[in-house]
Amino acid sequence: MRAKLPALEKNILKYRALQMVLLIHQVESLRTFIIGSIRSSESLLPRDSNLRALPEGVKRPMEKALNILVTKEIITEKESEDLQGIIEVRNQIGHKVH
């Protein structure tokens, strides 16, 4: 039984690492989709319009995008908080390799 324990631990570590990579990928895909969707919608506005809420180069675009979605009642405040929590987990994974 003792001989199998290191292999089990290795497999658990591989599984957790795969979960982390998938989470990073999925959050980045979601981020790209949300920001891209809002910017695409805003591209229909006149060029000189000051109604653009998410222009290129804005700081913290994901946070602002989620606020826009809540303001327009596309998602609820609770859903926004859940997404921000998932993004925080992604940031912890991306910046602190355990």
pLDDT in tens, 78-95: 999 999 999 999 888 877
Mean pLDDT, the chain, as a whole number? 87
Tens digit of each residue's pLDDT (9 = 90 or more) over 25-45: 999 999 999 999 999 988 887
Q: Which two tokens stand for residue 50?
A: 């000051």
| The pTM of the whole model exceeds 0.85 | no
